[in-house]
Structure 1
Amino acid sequence: MKEHDGGPPRHPLDVVVVGSANADLVVQVERHPAPGETVLGSELAVHPGGKGANQAVAAARLGARVALLGRVGADGHGRLLRESLERDGVDLGHLRDTPAASGIAMIAVGPRGDNSIIVAPGANARLTEDDVLEAAALLRSAPVVSLQLEIPLPAVLAAARLARRAVLNLSPAVPLPDELLALCDPLVVNEHEAALLLGAPGEPDRQAKELLALGPRSVVITLGADGAVVAEGGAVAEGGAVAEGCAVRAVPSPRVAAVDTTGAGDAFTGALAWRLAAGEPLVRAAAFAARVGAAAVRRPGAQDSYPTMAEVEGL
């Protein structure tokens, strides 16, 4: 295994993304199959994806200086992923080639842009705590480190410990150790991920308070076309049930015709991380990120759909 010679990092960095890079295998379907059912779909399309790579490209396309720490396979999909990231100016000095297949995401997209996704992690599962520690100087150099959970949890925790500010997107949703929760600023979840972490669904405002009571420094719940809810500050109530006195704010989203929601959450998180790195308050950063997410659903694919700053300003 060798580290890719991506040249010296561009300093100062805005965001370091520690996460996955996958090849997205996408099929359009008229409806999603029921268990045991077969449906016919469109021709197979292959796009660069993965939550880590998506967030890196989303931020870079908006103008952020971004580096990606992760692993790809020494295969055709790995070459596709590298070429895509390089085109958008992402620093690849810490993207490692791995003697395993690159990660794959199998995506079925319905007629309303809704999707179902199965991920085979491949090389992403080989990212280790040692890989992260070897890149400690890189992580400490950026105002924000953006994290997701398509890579092993020990690597995520190691990166969060080194980060000046850790933004964690709880996707795919898994239970988190208290130490990692306490390092999140913010913890970013959608409604389904919030319900899994809390054990039950609920109203977004209350979910945000209950999530804040679990220990993160701030929380963002994304609501798709309805924007997001942001919670920060306050004290944990007796028994740790609800964070009392915290500020909960609703963030609207522009109304657009959704073509494909694949990767929209990553576009949101990448944009959020960049604006936080620029020093914006969380609510303002989330409002900008909601506009980026809305712009992304207007085109098919994940990275292919991500907007430039000019497109966001024109939304």
Structure 2
Amino acid sequence: MNSFAGAEHGGIVHTVLGPVPADQLGVTSVHEALLSVVPGAEYAFDVEIDRAEIFEILARKLTDFRDHGGRTIVDSTGMFHGRDVRLYETLSRSTGVHIVASTGMGPEEMLGGYFLTPQTNPPTPWPAEKFAELFTREITEGMVVPRIERRGAAGLVAAAANHKGMTATEESLFRGAARTALHTGVALSIRYGNDVVHDLEIVLDESLPASRVVVGALDRTDAVAAGAPHDIARRGAFIAVDHVGLNNNDAYLTDHKRAALVVELVDAGLGDRILLSSNAIGVAKGQPDYEVPYSFVLSTFVPLLTSQGLSDEDVRRILVDNPRTLLCVTER
């Protein structure tokens, strides 16, 4: 997989171990989860949080990713889903894999009442500027280890909406996340609700360039049926085909249809907008395990793409050049 090494590229990316030159990222997976904990599950009587065991599992999976040619993993889960910055630092040092952690949150049902400002009657959403302040500090001052300290800077801000449609709180969240991306230079990752164009327009309305946005889950069958991957890519945003390896859920394409979609996008001249990942969960607590290897894109999906005519140059662009461009911190 060394044939997919990237060319020199200026700028830096925020990793858990500090700034890294963008040209050192190599093959990058932009929508994954390391430790994913449903908020509150850490207090459940039947959920065990064994940090040593979690480390061993994640180290093994990251090493497998590295051995298949992977160099950088983006944990895109945000603030309150099990993010463990100290653990990620140790994993990165131990495996040699760059880890980019994220700030942000969503969808609304995962936020908790605190973010509904319950002192008002009826409850009203946090204003966008409060979300922006919260996320911005995680980039400019470091990610919070709750009630203890701040560590390294987040390298991405992420926001997610409910599949049934964006709520008022989620619109405020998306606007705050967009302001954070605009003012700090990191990219914004959004996972849309039921109207991808509407949700993208919300963040673009905050003057954030489309080129600083990645829209996830564009291998959902409803999105593909509506032509959303092509439409969003033509608007200049990155599109994440990010459930590679998921083949038993009618809400998403199968891998063979994903590969066909990627080839279509490349043939349409949109290869510089595509990102690939699996939304794999290394360790899940309070939710079902999702045992797709971080290496699956490299070990299984890339051969499928090349069998359908995609060139090594196209693959390199998707796996190396595009995520490097997205994650490189822009000047403010």
For the criterion TM > 0.5, the same-fold answer is no
| TM-score calculated relative to the size of structure 1 | 0.38
Question: Which structure's residues are more often strand, by fraction?
Answer: 1
Question: Which structure's residues are more often helix, by fraction?
Answer: 2
